[in-house]
Amino acid sequence: MQKKPAHPQSIAIRDFTYPLPEERIARFPLEQRDASRLLIYDGKISEDTYHNLAAHIPPGTLLVFNQTKVVNARLLFQKQTGGKVEVFCLEPDSRYPDIQSAMLQQGSVYWKCLVGGAAKWKNGQVVALQLPQQYLEVKAEIVERQEGYFLLKIYWDTALTFAEVLHFAGVIPLPPYLNRDADENDGERYQTIFAKEEGSVAAPTAALHFTKHVLSSLKEKGCATALLTLHVGAGTFMPVKSDTMQGHDMHAEWIEIDRQLLDKIITVTQAGHRIVATGTTSARTLESLYWLGVRILEESNIDLSGISIPQWYPYDHPSDIKPAEAIRALSGYMDRNNLSRIITKTQIIIAPGYEFRVIDGLITNFHQPQSTLLLLVAAITGNSWHEIYNYALNNGFRFLSYGDGSLLWI
């Protein structure tokens, strides 16, 4: 029987802090994506730029990217009295089976939102925004007030889908720590070059550094690439407010994977090559695939459309199942159910004590103090995360979403 891993519930978040001066936060992207600096950690620290990433990746490595696309999730409404109401669209109501279905709704949609200026927005009161050039008027009203969000009904009188409404009427939702309004450049630069599946309210920022040159140089090196989808929710910016992780409710996010990704993982694993997740979102998704496979093997008649990976599942259910066996089980489930893709949710939290089953390395930016993303970095590097972040701070690296990044080997 697999030994039960150390449980991160007892982790004190105060142990994962560091001083981050405001001037070290990158407010704007560099002119050239792959000019961003790259810190490499493989037991020791070195540095380069993303332009030369291929020099640090062994041939045969599979790099996995998140192809989610950031939607214009901020809507600026106006009350009849003239007051402003800012709506931040978080995720669709549970009446929709997945984000794609919700995005394709026409005429109206029910969405979980954060609301600025809600104190004077009464139930039943309609707010509106108008785009005369698009012959579009969008209205919203409160359906329910829940802890942490509002459920809104948003509706419009054209044949547009909700994805199209957000495209025309919304604003790109920059992270709050950038402390500035989005400009025209952000519409392009806060998306990866392979962004495709609409649904995120934040970019998978590690992949913002990739260019056609970087991808072609990786291909020439003999590396493979694959895509998955995890729609990043606003929970990625939520600070840990409890003293220990036991009191933190990890946000759940939609993931989507196809059979092609599973085949590539199996092939690379059998060949003894490495798998590198580009971004914490890719890492969470890839590791969740293992635990989905474990559940298929251990739970009879399981329906993946109705389950997710709870945040503590890997720690409460230790497993001796080999990674390749778990991925094959997931692939077999897709075959038996005639599925070309699986859409489900993951709430997995990766923190010190976690044993990685799928990935061998991570490409990621430098994250906020006392964040779950920093816990993931510490799960890979152990206490060396202090050394890595001190080096970055002392050597002029730029931090957070538009900042520089790192390649961390397990």
What's 256's domain CATH number? 3.40.1780.10
Task: Please indicate, yes or no, if residue 182 is contained in any of the structural domains.
Answer: no
pLDDT for the residue 303: 82
Task: Please indicate, yes or no, if residue 184 is contained in any of the structural domains.
Answer: no
Question: 78 and 57, same structural domain?
Answer: no
**Residue where one domain finishes, among candidates 141, 171, 201:** 171
- What share of the chain in percent tops pLDDT 90? 85
Mean pLDDT of 16-28: 97
Kindly tell me if the per-residue pLDDT of 259 is higher than 90: yes
Task: Please indicate, yes or no, if residue 246 is contained in any of the structural domains.
Answer: yes
pLDDT for the residue 5: 60
Question: 394 and 300, same structural domain?
Answer: yes
Question: 77 and 63, same structural domain?
Answer: no
**Residue where one domain finishes, among candidates 171, 205, 222:** 171
Mean pLDDT of 262-269: 96
Question: 88 and 38, same structural domain?
Answer: no
Question: 222 and 122, same structural domain?
Answer: no
Mean pLDDT of 388-410: 98
pLDDT for the residue 2: 53
For 53, the token pair is: 């990433």
**Tens-place pLDDT, residues 173-217:** 999 899 999 999 999 999 999 999 999 999 999 999 999 999 999
Mean pLDDT of 389-394: 98
Kindly tell me if the per-residue pLDDT of 320 is higher than 60: yes
pLDDT-derived band at 117, boundaries 50, 70, 90: confident
Kindly tell me if the per-residue pLDDT of 1 is higher than 60: no
Kindly tell me if the per-residue pLDDT of 159 is higher than 50: yes
pLDDT for the residue 58: 98
Question: 206 and 98, same structural domain?
Answer: no
pLDDT for the residue 233: 82
Spatial contact of 125 and 153, defined as CB atoms under 8 Å apart: no
For 118-127, 196-205, 337-346, which range has the lowest pLDDT when averaged over its residues?
118-127
Question: 289 and 381, same structural domain?
Answer: yes
One-letter-per-residue 3-state SS of the chain: CCCCCCCHHHCEHHHCCCCCCHHHECCCCCCCHHHCEEEEECCCEEEEEHHHHHHHCCCCCEEEEECEEECCCEEEEECCCCCEEEEEEEEECCCCCCHHHHHCCECEEEEEEEEECHHHCCCCCCEEEEEHHHCEEEEEEEEEEECCEEEEEEEECCCCEHHHHHHHHCECCCCHHHCCCCCCCHHHHCCCCCCCEEEECCCCHHHHHCCHHHHHHHHHCCCEEEEEEECCCHHHHCCCCCCEHHHCCCCCEEEEEEHHHHHHHHHHHHCCCCEEEECHHHHHHHHHHHHHHHHHHHCCCCCHHHCEECCCHHHHCCCCCCHHHHHHHHHHHHHHCCCCEEEEEECCCCCCCCCCCCCCEEEEECCCCCCHHHHHHHHHHCCHHHHHHHHHHHCCCCECCCCCEEEEEC
Region of residue 269 (phi > 0: left; psi between -120 and 50: alpha; otherwise: beta): alpha
Kindly tell me if the per-residue pLDDT of 333 is higher than 80: yes
Kindly tell me if the per-residue pLDDT of 331 is higher than 60: yes
Nearest one of 372, 377, 311, 315 to 346, comparing CA atoms: 311
Q: Which range of residues forms the domain containing residue 164?
A: 73-171
Kindly tell me if the per-residue pLDDT of 150 is higher than 80: yes
Question: 306 and 229, same structural domain?
Answer: yes
Nearest one of 207, 246, 254 to 229, comparing CA atoms: 254
pLDDT for the residue 281: 96
Question: 332 and 195, same structural domain?
Answer: yes
Kindly tell me if the per-residue pLDDT of 11 is higher than 90: yes
pLDDT for the residue 48: 98
Kindly tell me if the per-residue pLDDT of 4 is higher than 70: no
pLDDT for the residue 50: 98
Q: Indicate the pTM of the whole model.
A: 0.93
pLDDT-derived band at 239, boundaries 50, 70, 90: confident
Mean pLDDT of 393-402: 98
Question: 84 and 64, same structural domain?
Answer: no
Task: Please indicate, yes or no, if residue 89 is contained in any of the structural domains.
Answer: yes
**CATH code, domain with 122:** 2.40.10.240
Kindly tell me if the per-residue pLDDT of 305 is higher than 80: no
pLDDT averaged over the chain? Answer: 93
Spatial contact of 188 and 211, defined as CB atoms under 8 Å apart: no
Kindly tell me if the per-residue pLDDT of 349 is higher than 50: yes
Question: 26 and 115, same structural domain?
Answer: no
Question: 250 and 152, same structural domain?
Answer: no
Task: Please indicate, yes or no, if residue 2 is contained in any of the structural domains.
Answer: no
With 0-12 / 13-18 / 19 or more C-beta atoms within 10 angstroms meaning exposed / middle / buried, residue 320 is exposed
Kindly tell me if the per-residue pLDDT of 280 is higher than 50: yes
Kindly tell me if the per-residue pLDDT of 6 is higher than 80: no
**Tens-place pLDDT, residues 43-72:** 999 999 999 999 999 999 999 999 999 999
For 157, the token pair is: 């009188």
Count: domains in the chain = 2
Task: Please indicate, yes or no, if residue 267 is contained in any of the structural domains.
Answer: yes
